[in-house]
Amino acid sequence: MVAVLLVLLGGALTFRQLAFNQQQHQLRSVVEVIDGQLSVQPETPEFAQWLPNWLRAHNIQVLEVANRGGVIYTFRELNYTGNSNNLIPYRYPLAAHPDFFIQIWVEQPFKQLTYEPEAMLGIGGGVLIVALGLIAVFRWLKSIMYGAELLQTRGNQILAGRLRDVQQGSGKEWPNAASKAIEQLITQLIEARQERSRFDCIIRNNAFVDELTQLSNRTHFLNQLEAEIGDADAHTGAVLLVYLRGMDDVNYQYARNEGDAILQQSSEALKQYTRRNIDVNLARYSGDAFALLMPLSTLDEAEDTAAGILKLLERIPLPEVAEADDFFYIGIAGYEYGDNAQLVIEQAEDALRVAQMQRHNGWYAIPRELSSTQTGKGSVRWRTLLQHVLSNEALHYYQQEVFDEDGRVCYKELLARITDYQGEVINAGVFLPWAEKSGLQADFDQHALKFAMQQVKYSRQPISINLNIATVIKQSVMRDLLQWVFSVPFKECQKLVLEFPETQLSQLNDTEMLRLKALNKKGIKLAVERAGQRVVSTQYISELKLEYLKLHTSLVRDIQVRQVNQLAVSSLVASCAGRVQVMAVGVERNEEWRVLQRLGVHHAQGFLFSKPEPI
């Protein structure tokens, strides 16, 4: 419509200008005739006789011929009834008489033009037809462009990583072929990611999981043990070796099928007993032995665990060739921060040999005084201490910086600390497991979350906090978080990073996933920690928009000499390619960092870069 109006307006102006040009052309002709006649018959009666009629024929209302001395000839139409002030003046010099000039006053073009109804009806009908055609074309273009806009919106959502939300497009999208092609490609991409996740699990299963029992294998167990011993937060713990002494006789008498059945039943019994404590790492140490890693445990607690395990194992039905009273033995060795992992294993094996010398199902623990005063305080004493910390607001925080490969700070992680009655600082890795056992985990998480939300207001870098996912997805906590999101600027929301353990993220249902996605859409960033500690599906990477994936320290420790760890890290990096930034935790040596960079890890956290500092 605007185009038609512009065309009509342009045509009208052009036609008007052409009329003025035609009028000026006629007036020039009159001036040329008068200039010629002045040379032939100046001051003759004939000139005054024919000129008025000729001027009337050209609709000239006033004409004056003048020179420097004044007007020498004037013509004025006496019968003109219009307003002389509306006449258009023109001034022309005479070419043959340079001292003379002519001034002419005429009416505007189209002054006498009449608008006949028939002509106007035709013009109006034409304009109406054009307008209706333009409206139809505009509506058609609008419908086409609406489909293109839908396709554009869908493309933006795909670029934002929300594949599953736009897997099926609207039937109004245009072009239809592009819409169907995108649907097909999204389906193939989702299937490829799922296949990639399954392939990643297969790689890590082959590297770290025993095929028969589906437990961690010896390599993975040793990685976990070295990571725990090298973790200053762990303090103390215990290793249990569970040996099935009569397996050789069973395999010899009944072939391997019967022996495999006993191993599977034993692994199920161990899983059942350790299921209540997710921090216990269970592995198949060798063909007829299992191993348990119990962080933050004392030897007394390890012996209680051994007694409970032995009761479950003795319920397993054994073939006649096996001596039920001389079949299950357990060796126990304690460790503390800074010990040698191989030496701890050797002590557990020595304890196992001592237990076998008793010739009756049992266990033996290598006597040792562990230096830590924080582990094994007792559940009542721990609960009392933790309640005292919460009631007196005695929880304080350290911060540790996280760097990229160019040495820039990506964000700062908050690390919780408490102080016991003797004034000793206790790390979160020690008191949080007891807080969970005492039912106080949610209180500590909410305190940490509120502190982090306060810190992002004053910090230039993003602030991260490690939380239990069960706390965050509570309706009350979600409500508080969303209220905070709506009360602060969006840039401030983007500086809050929530970190969750991989084992918890991998077990979320669809409803819980939606709650985390709601936080993510409001600007809060999500990260996963302890990736690779357990062999779980990485499907959560496709479900959530994660900012960072933090490798567990067991994969990072001495990675330059561990080919299996390098394979696992490469698999995780490939699963995150283009979607999540992979970060190594616990980097302490340049050799580790160089290998990690070569594998595609470009962010790191550890003593090699910075140490925790109090806030």
Average pLDDT over residues 500-519: 88
Separation CA 254–CA 318 (nearest Å): 12
Residue 220 has pLDDT above 90, yes or no: no
Per-residue pLDDT of 75-131, as tens digits, reads 888 888 778 788 889 999 988 888 888 999 998 887 666 667 776 787 788 888 888
Buried-exposed string 181-218: b where 16+ CB fall within 10 A, e elsewhere = ebbeebeeeeeebeebbeebbebbeebbbbeebebbbb
CB-based burial label for 498 (10 Å; 0-12, 13-18, 19+):
buried
Helix (H) or strand (E) holding 396: strand 396-404
Q: Which residues contact 45 (CB under 8 A, 6 or more apart)?
A: none
Per-residue pLDDT of 286-301, as tens digits, reads 889 999 999 888 888 8
Q: Are strands 289-295 and 281-286 parallel, antiparallel or unpaired?
A: antiparallel
Residue 422 has pLDDT above 90, yes or no: no
DSSP assignment, residue 216? Answer: B
Higher local confidence (pLDDT), 190 or 554: 554
- What pLDDT does 443 receive? 93
Q: How confident is the model at residue 41 (pLDDT cuts 50, 70, 90)?
A: low
Q: How confident is the model at residue 356 (pLDDT cuts 50, 70, 90)?
A: very high
Fold of 2-106: Beta-Lactamase (3.30.450)
Cβ neighbours of 156 (radius 10 Å): 11
Separation CA 555–CA 200 (nearest Å): 15
Most confident of 4-13, 204-213, 606-615: 606-615
Kindly state the tokens that stand for 502: 């991989």
Higher local confidence (pLDDT), 161 or 270: 270
The type of residue at 75 is: F
Per-residue pLDDT of 357-381, as tens digits, reads 888 899 999 888 765 555 555 678 8
Per-residue pLDDT of 15-29, as tens digits, reads 778 888 888 888 888
Q: Which residues of the chain are in CATH 3.20.20.450 domains?
A: 379-614
- What pLDDT does 291 receive? 95
Could you tell me which CATH number the domain at 379-614 has? Answer: 3.20.20.450
Separation CA 238–CA 305 (nearest Å): 11
- What pLDDT does 278 receive? 62
**Residue whose structure tokens are 């500086």:** 495
Residue 92 contacts residue 101 (beta carbons within 8 Å): yes
Tell which residue, 84, 109, 105, 104, has the closest CA to residue 33.
104
Q: How confident is the model at residue 241 (pLDDT cuts 50, 70, 90)?
A: very high
Cβ neighbours of 334 (radius 10 Å): 25
- What pLDDT does 42 receive? 53
- What pLDDT does 46 receive? 59
Q: How confident is the model at residue 353 (pLDDT cuts 50, 70, 90)?
A: very high
Q: Which residues of the chain are in CATH 3.30.70.270 domains?
A: 214-365
Higher local confidence (pLDDT), 370 or 33: 33
Separation CA 336–CA 376 (nearest Å): 13
Separation CA 584–CA 592 (nearest Å): 10
Tell which residue, 451, 457, 318, 297, has the closest CA to residue 377.
297
Per-residue pLDDT of 48-60, as tens digits, reads 677 888 888 888 8
Average pLDDT over residues 603-609: 93
- What pLDDT does 45 receive? 47
Average pLDDT over residues 336-358: 91
- What pLDDT does 372 receive? 54
Average pLDDT over residues 524-551: 87
Kindly state the tokens that stand for 148: 């293109």
Average pLDDT over residues 472-489: 91
Average pLDDT over residues 319-341: 89
**Residue whose structure tokens are 């479950």:** 312
- What pLDDT does 233 receive? 65
Cβ neighbours of 114 (radius 10 Å): 6
- What pLDDT does 532 receive? 86
Cβ neighbours of 579 (radius 10 Å): 14
- What pLDDT does 47 receive? 60
Higher local confidence (pLDDT), 350 or 181: 350
Residue 579 has pLDDT above 90, yes or no: no
Strands, E, within 68-121: which ranges?
70-76, 88-93, 101-106
The type of residue at 295 is: P
Residue 549 contacts residue 528 (beta carbons within 8 Å): yes
CB-based burial label for 58 (10 Å; 0-12, 13-18, 19+):
middle
- What pLDDT does 462 receive? 94
Tell which residue, 550, 438, 462, 537, has the closest CA to residue 500.
550
Min mean pLDDT across 65-74, 241-250, 595-604 is at 65-74
Could you tell me which CATH number the domain at 214-365 has? Answer: 3.30.70.270
Q: How confident is the model at residue 313 (pLDDT cuts 50, 70, 90)?
A: very high
At 324, is the secondary structure helix, strand, or coil? helix
Per-residue pLDDT of 151-201, as tens digits, reads 888 888 777 666 666 777 777 777 788 888 888 887 777 777 666 666 666
Per-residue pLDDT of 449-477, as tens digits, reads 999 999 998 898 999 999 999 999 998 99
Dihedral sign computed on CA atoms, order 15, 21, 27, 29 = negative
Higher local confidence (pLDDT), 331 or 75: 331
Residue 223 has pLDDT above 60, yes or no: yes
Kindly state the tokens that stand for 35: 């200039």
Q: Which residues contact 513 (CB under 8 A, 6 or more apart)?
A: 543, 544
Higher local confidence (pLDDT), 573 or 230: 573
Instruction: Report the mean per-residue pLDDT for the chain.
Output: 85
Tell which residue, 563, 296, 250, 339, has the closest CA to residue 436.
296
SS3 per-residue string spanning 549-592: EEECHHHHCCHHHCHHHHHHHHHHHHHHCCCCEEEEECCCCHHH
Residue 484 has pLDDT above 80, yes or no: yes
Q: Which residues contact 450 (CB under 8 A, 6 or more apart)?
A: none
- What pLDDT does 376 receive? 55
CB-based burial label for 70 (10 Å; 0-12, 13-18, 19+):
exposed
Min mean pLDDT across 230-239, 406-415, 461-470 is at 230-239
Q: Which residues of the chain are in CATH 3.30.450 domains?
A: 2-106
Helix (H) or strand (E) holding 63: strand 60-67
Q: What is the pTM of this model?
A: 0.67
Kindly state the tokens that stand for 179: 């819409």
Q: Which residues contact 319 (CB under 8 A, 6 or more apart)?
A: 250, 253, 254, 258
Tell which residue, 413, 492, 432, has the closest CA to residue 458.
492
Separation CA 441–CA 433 (nearest Å): 8
List the beta bridge partners of residue 243. 289, 329
Higher local confidence (pLDDT), 66 or 118: 66
Residue 205 has pLDDT above 70, yes or no: no
Q: How far is CA 45 from the centre of its chain?
A: 100
Separation CA 146–CA 160 (nearest Å): 21
Separation CA 453–CA 59 (nearest Å): 87
